[in-house]
Amino acid sequence: MPVYLITAHAYRSWSEGDPKGYVQRREGLKPPSSGLARYRARKAKHPEVRFEGEMPQVLNCVIESIVPEKGARLHACVTCPTHVHIMVSFRTPECECNGAEYCARGCEAREFAEDVLVRLKRKMGQALAKWAGTQQKPWFSRGWDLTPVRKRSHFDHLVNIYLPQHEENQAGVFKKYS
């Protein structure tokens, strides 16, 4: 049964000037660049988004409705001011990447998980826009991260340690489902 940790970042929440570096599409992790961060901040058409106040509850309601709608099972989620983590599993399609760290393009399981994520991001953005009374405002960055969870020990670590830590360390709202 494929299990994925899905991560979506709030719009402009991960700056190129971040001390840990930044992710460039199709190129991976890059070292920090304060000059590029300043340039992109000047060019941005919308301010940075942070999921605060009632926003985590709005996001959780969408997550709890969309994941089962797509035929997946929700194990846990955490909504933080800068990002959302969602742990999902599903029976089909199966992953055939033979235990590789990341699924290859064309993997049916990965494509299904991406489909779940695209639907989640769209519906979460619509719900936040309705809640805030806005239009044409980006709520999420363009990219995302799909991490396959291959071992039970990894699953247990994510659900029992990593995701709950976001509640204390990053002012997140953590929910675990049975």
Domain assignment of residue 107, yes or no: yes
Interior/surface letters 3-35, b for 16+ CB within 10 angstroms, e for the rest? bbbbbbbbbbbbbbbeeeebbeeeeeeeeebee
- Does the pLDDT value for residue 14 go beyond 80? no
* pLDDT single digits (tens) 144-165: 888 889 899 999 999 999 999 9
Domain assignment of residue 8, yes or no: yes
Q: What is the SS3 string spanning 97-151?
A: CCCCCCCCCCCHHHHHHHHHHHHHHHHHHHHHHHHHCCCCCCCECCCCEEEECCC
Specify the 3-state DSSP secondary structure of 94: coil
Domain assignment of residue 75, yes or no: yes
**Band of the pLDDT at 105, cuts 50, 70, 90?**
confident
- Does the pLDDT value for residue 70 go beyond 80? yes
* pLDDT single digits (tens) 117-142: 999 999 999 999 999 998 888 999 88
- Does the pLDDT value for residue 32 go beyond 80? no
pLDDT at 47: 86
Q: Domain holding 170: CATH number?
A: 3.30.70.1290
Domain assignment of residue 122, yes or no: yes
Is residue 3 within 8 A of residue 87, CB to CB? The reply is yes
Domain count, the chain: 1
Domain assignment of residue 29, yes or no: no
Range of the domain at 85: 3-13+49-176
The chain-wide mean pLDDT, for the chain, equals: 87
